[in-house]
Structures are given as C-alpha cells and as structure tokens.
Structure 1
Amino acid sequence: MAMLKNDLMSISAFSKLSRVPRKTLIFYDQIDLFKPAFVADNGYRYYIRSQLDTIGVIYIFKELGMSLEDIRAYLEHRSPLSTLELLRKQEEVVQQQIAKLNLAKEMMLQRAENIEHSLNVDTSRMVVVLQERKPILRSCRVHESRRELNEELWDDFQERLHKENAPAGYPGGAIICKEDLLRRDGDIISYMFSFITTQHHEQEYMPEGYYLVSYTRADYEDTEKIYPQIFDYIDKNHYVIKGDAYEEFLLDEIVMKRPEDYLVRVMVYIEEPAKS
C-alpha cells in the first residue's frame, strides 16, 4: 500500500508524539536501528504512525538494559517465536526491577519512620512495648565482639541482601543472643539482620511479644555501653529475659554528621511483665 502524504509526520511531530528526543531519532537513523519511513530530497525525515509501536518497543527494551546492538539484532531477525522468547526473558527482568523498586521504597519508608520516631525519643527512659512478629533476614551465625567483626561477615550479609534485591544502604542491625544477655555481656554479636521479607533465604522472624526498649547515642562500636543500665533495669523491675536483643540505628551516618550523635534502639525480648 502506497503511503499517503497525510500519513507522514515530520521528525519534530513524531518526536513529540513518541516522547523520544529528536536527536535520539537522528542517532537511531544513523546507526540503522530505527529509520524514518521516508526521507525527502532535502534530507527531511518523515515517519508514519505505525512506527510508534516499534519505537515504543525500542524504548522499553533499552530501559530494561538491552544494548542497542541487541535491539537491532532482534529487529532485523524478529519473528513470532523470537519475540515471544524475548518478551518472556524481559518479563523476568521487569519482575526483578519491581522487586528492587519495592525494596527501595521499603528502605525509604523504614528510614523515614525511624527518623520520625527518633524525634520523640527520651534516651533517659526505658519502656516495655508489645511488639508484633516481624520478618527478618539474618546473617550467618557468629560469636564475636562488635569491635572485631570480620570482613567475611559483612561480605556474607551484603551478599544475602543483594540476593534479595535490597539496595545498598538497606538499614540493618545486630542481634545479641539470649545466652550472652544472661551472662550480662552486651558486646558479643551473634547475627546481623534487616527487617525484610525474604524470597531467596529462609524467613526468620523477630518474635511477637514483650520487649524492653532503650535508646542511647553512640557510634556503631560503642552501643554496648547501654547494656549495664539495661541489666540493672531488668533486675530492678524483676523482668525475665526470654530471648535475644535486637539493635538498630534509628539515626546513622545517612542522617547525622557526627558518629557520637547516632541513635541506637535496643529491644530485649522479655517475659510478659507481672501485673502490679
């Protein structure tokens, strides 16, 4: 079917309709990726509306990380089977990107909630709260002083977060196990953890129940200074340690310039307090 003059759009009109910059369209023409339907004697490029479908596919594949060379190879040899195979493959890419975006959103929400919570914190007080069960990702098991945590632990935990599609900088914390708490030792780390619903690791949980919550301002390696006060408070109020302690920084280097101003929350899992 012959093209009618009324079917043709100038490169400027096609650029506006497709939302692809004019310079990009010229570049695609020059590399034989996407050529205009007609080029006039004066060199002006013209396109037809049906080409919007093709430029749309190019844009989507490019956004999903395909190289221009791979896109060109697909367009040159496209068929129903090759298109189906490519679409299925790109569907997996899209699902991975959705997972990453969801966790990026979760990271921002967690950090925003931590900051909002920190604005009303009284570091001189300890409180008991009833905490719902929360999903976590744990690192491999260790038993080391927080000042001697090795590189392998950090690498292991970051690799686990990466496998879950969590972005760099996803908030995390440390777990001090019940056995060390009973020995009144708040320095020994058993796990690193993050609040996250896992897809590629066994799902662990911070148990539902009562927690003694305390806060202190400290750098990453100095949070054990709050534990003597925690143990004294537990003894004074006849609380019984039921499980682990969970440390998380509400304010860290993302928020504060001075490490001594970081704010850590420590939650110790205890038996339900006796009613007075």
Structure 2
Amino acid sequence: MKKYLSISEMAQYAGISRRTLIYYDQIDLFKPVKVGDNGYRYYGIDQYFELDVILLLKNIGMPLEEIQVFLKNRNVDYALQEFYRQRSKVDQQIEQLKDIRTSLDSFIERYETLKDFDLESITYSYRETESFVISDIIESGDTMDSVQIYGRFYSSVDSKDLFSGYPIGFLVDGAAFYKENFHTAPYRALVKIPDDRLHLYQLQKIVTRPAGYYVSGFMKDEIHHINTFNNRFQSYLKEHKLVLDGDIWELLWQDEATSELPEDQVFEVLIPVKKVSV
C-alpha cells in the first residue's frame, strides 16, 4: 500500500497548484511529512484531512495567518467563536458591496441622463429639499488657494458620500446671475449628504437647498455656451413673469470620469424662482 504522496498528487487531490503547497510549506502552514534527499516533498495519506481544514477556512475568507492560529487552537468553542467573527466580517463586506452597488446605480443613471441631455431645453419644476456639506468660499481667479480649499474640503467628506454617484455641486450668490459670466463669481463646492448621514458633519458645514420651484437647464463650461445660457434663462424668466428668488445651484453631471477636457464639462443650473407680483 502506498505510504506517501508526491507534491503533484497532493496538489491534484486538493485542486490547487504545486506552487501553493510549496508556499504553505515555506510559511509553516502545511508541511510535508518528509523531504527526500533529492529535495522532493512527500505527504502522508492522513494529511488530506489537515489540508481540507485549511481549504475550508480559506474558502470562507479567513487569512492565512489566522488559519495558522486556528489550527493550533481547534475545539468546538474556538471554532464557533472564529466562525461567528468571520460571519461578522462577511456581513460588513456585504454592506460595503451594497454601498458600491448603490453608487454604481447612481453613476449609471447619471451618465444615462448625459446621453440625452439637451442644451436648448429649459425646465420649470418643483424640487424637493436636499442637504449638502459645503466648502469655504472659493475665488475663481486664485488657483493655488482654490486647490488648498478643495483639498481640505474633500478630505473632510466621507468617501461614501463623495463618491456616491450624485453630481458634485456648486453654490453661487444669486446676484452673480446678472453678470456676463457667473462662473467667474466666488462659489462654494457642495457634496450631497443623505438625511440619515447628516449627523456625521458639523452643523455649520451643512446647507439646505429649499424645496420649491426652480428653473433649470444644462450648460457646457465654455464661454460661448455660458453667455448663450444666461441670455436664454433671463429671456425665459421675463417671458414667464418669474424672478430670481435665491442663490444659483449647479450640479456637475459630466466630469473628468467621462472626459479629460474641461470644456466638455456639463452643468445643470438650478435657479429658484417666484412669480412676479402684480
């Protein structure tokens, strides 16, 4: 009866590579019962069971260093403790994957919208309240200062919110709307925060876009488009007897993820309005 298995035979049984078995030997996780004078590794038949345990633990996501500890402490109580702990880690990973899936859904919905956006269309609609965390004031002409402010701001926002898929926003004083190019006015950067996560941020850093009626439209970040956009919006307000009723809210729908050219950026501009009093 055969007493020993070669490394190739043991690898074939386990469905793993010879290289893996060599590595397990090197880190003292699973060693052959003997090494021949020729340097060949040989495994005992009963080592199947030990390798089965290692592969089981590896299959449930346990790191090799934790498997080493597990093998030295095997009993029912310890196994239960470690399996409960591993299940808790898996539950956390599942929640993280759910968050990633939600972000992906948001990005996909956002970029699907971009495929059909219309630079000529202007919409008058009711918008619900949304809350944002807000940066310090950014002066458009001061590049170095802007970089520093952006750096401080984005590092203060949780990545779950920063990369949620919702467009990054900007807030501009409403008076700038009547300037030739309101994109040269001072502004603040915005990141949308769900209501159940607002408690994670300082109250003074939170700003709310009020519920109400807004005139909105898409605009490219290029001087010709900005001027055309301003003229169309002001004409629309006049024609429909509407007046500006607050600050300018912008959402950056097309960003560097979909184009490396700054002039390709597409913003949605939302202007709160009210009817002209008669």
Q: Is the 8 A contact 1:139 1:156 kept in 2?
A: no
- The answer as to 2:138 corresponding to 1:139 is no
1:175 is aligned to 170
Farther-moved stretch of structure 1 (73-82 vs 124-133): 73-82
Distance in 1 (alpha carbons) for counterparts of 2:273 and 2:200: 27
Cα offsets for 1:13-46 (capped at 9, x unmatched): 212xxxx54422331132112447x679873445
Cα offsets for 1:101-149 (capped at 9, x unmatched): 3343333322222222122222122111333445x54134x23334436
Q: Is the 8 A contact 2:128 2:211 kept in 1?
A: yes
Distance in 2 (alpha carbons) for counterparts of 1:146 and 1:89: 50
Distance in 1 (alpha carbons) for counterparts of 2:68 and 2:146: 47
Q: How does 1:1-276 map to 2 (within 5 A)?
A: 10-15=10-15, 21-35=17-31, 43-45=41-43, 47-48=47-48, 51-58=51-58, 60-62=61-63, 68-69=64-65, 71-73=67-69, 75-76=71-72, 80=77, 84=81, 88=85, 91=88, 95=92, 97-134=93-130, 136-140=131-135, 142-148=136-142, 150-161=146-157, 163-165=158-160, 172-177=167-172, 180-182=173-175, 184=177, 186=182, 187-194=185-192, 199=197, 201-202=200-201, 206-218=209-221, 225=227, 226-227=229-230, 229-271=232-274
Q: Is the 8 A contact 1:137 1:198 kept in 2?
A: no
Deviation, structure 1 residue 52: 3.5
In the superposition, relative to structure 1, how do residues 71 and 244 fare at CA in structure 2: closer, same or farther (>3 Å)? farther
In the superposition, relative to structure 1, how do residues 57 and 169 fare at CA in structure 2: closer, same or farther (>3 Å)? same
Unaligned runs of 5+ in 1: 63-67
For 2:139, give the aligned amino acid. Answer: S
Distance in 2 (alpha carbons) for counterparts of 1:131 and 1:39: 74
Cα offsets for 1:230-263 (capped at 9, x unmatched): 3443344222444443322222222124322222
The aligned length equals 250
For 2:255, give the aligned amino acid. Answer: D
Q: Does the residue aligned with 2:41 lie in a helix, a strand or coil?
A: coil
TM-score calculated relative to the size of structure 1:
0.67
Distance in 2 (alpha carbons) for counterparts of 1:121 and 1:98: 35
Higher CA-based Rg: 2
RMSD over aligned CA atoms reads: 4.2
In the superposition, relative to structure 1, how do residues 11 and 92 fare at CA in structure 2: closer, same or farther (>3 Å)? closer
In the superposition, relative to structure 1, how do residues 254 and 52 fare at CA in structure 2: closer, same or farther (>3 Å)? same
Cα offsets for 1:59-97 (capped at 9, x unmatched): 5133xxxxx4465345445674697379548836852x4
In the superposition, relative to structure 1, how do residues 82 and 56 fare at CA in structure 2: closer, same or farther (>3 Å)? closer
Q: Is the 8 A contact 1:157 1:192 kept in 2?
A: no
Distance in 2 (alpha carbons) for counterparts of 1:227 and 1:173: 21
Q: Does the residue aligned with 2:200 lie in a helix, a strand or coil?
A: coil
Larger helix percent: 2
Identical columns (%):
19
